[in-house]
A and B are shown apart, each in its own frame.
Chain A
Amino acid sequence: SQKIEQNSEALNIQEGKTATLTCNYTNYSPAYLQWYRQDPGRGPVFLLLIRENEKEKRKERLKVTFDTTLKQSLFHITASQPADSATYLCALLGSGYALNFGKGTSLLVTP
């Protein structure tokens, strides 16, 4: 079956450090991978989309890598700030065109 796995344990880091979140997938052949941010009780907000032929994509303090051989994407936030504290979700288009999400990794940035 298709699976999207993200670290279930919360990631706690200090302000100013780089946060790295992992998304691993099984039985997908994705042409695209997306990352979203979700705050408690609110809808997810799109952050970045990376295509299978792109190794890396950047947007301000965010960087995403996509390794289709390892079936893994890494999401980095550099110079993290307390306002970056949220749950981060990765998403893939599954069989039957369903847009499936991982369970997300909770990030806490402390001053």
Chain B
Amino acid sequence: DSGVTQTPKHLITATGQRVTLRCSPRSGDLSVYWYQQSLDQGLQFLIQYYNGEERAKGNILERFSAQQFPDLHSELNLSSLELGDSALYFCASSDTKGGDTEAFFGQGTRLTVV
């Protein structure tokens, strides 16, 4: 158990809909990262928050947004969903701003857009 909790584990929704994925980081970790992993694709970095503020941004679509709340949990919002958004979405946390300590990953949310 990494200590990072992601909900829900599975999500099936229709094209055009909006969903929210939730992540609770390990106790004490200030950084939260979001990744997308499609079939046969690597982990694509989406966005990172550190102590409530956006710190790094990857190739995140404009239809996607995220935030980190004062209690440090984070949410990833995906809107106007397309079939190609079907993927595993991972959240990770670390105790620093990034790179110099390990990142702990959650078990992921499997999103299926039909």
Inter-chain CA distance A91–B97, complex, in Å, is 15
Number of interface residues of A (CB under 8 A): 25
- B84 an interface residue at 8 Å Cβ cutoff? no
Number of interface residues of B (CB under 8 A): 29
Partner of A31, one of B33, B88, B99, B101: B99
Among B49-93, those with CB < 8 Å from A are: 55-58, 88, 90, 92
Inter-chain CA distance A47–B42, complex, in Å, is 18
Q: When A43-B105, A46-B104, A49-B102 are in contact, do A98 and B57 touch as well, CB less than 8 Å?
A: yes
**Centre residue among B35, B102, B107, B110 by max chain A CB count within 10 A:** B102
Tell me the smallest distance from the CB of A64 to a CB of chain B, in Å: 13
Closest to B110 in A: A41
Inter-chain CA distance A68–B4, complex, in Å, is 32
Q: Is the CB of B90 within 8 A of A43?
A: yes
- B25 an interface residue at 8 Å Cβ cutoff? no
Tell me the smallest distance from the CB of B10 to a CB of chain A, in Å: 11
Residues on A facing B (Cβ under 8 Å): 30-32, 34, 41-46, 49, 89, 91-94, 96-104
17 contacts between A and B (CB under 8 A): A30-B99, A43-B105, A43-B108, A45-B2, A45-B105, A49-B102, A89-B43, A93-B100, A96-B56, A97-B97, A97-B98, A98-B45, A98-B58, A99-B99, A99-B103, A100-B45, A101-B43
Residues on B facing A (Cβ under 8 Å): 2, 4, 33, 35, 41-43, 45, 48, 55-58, 88, 90, 92, 97-108, 110
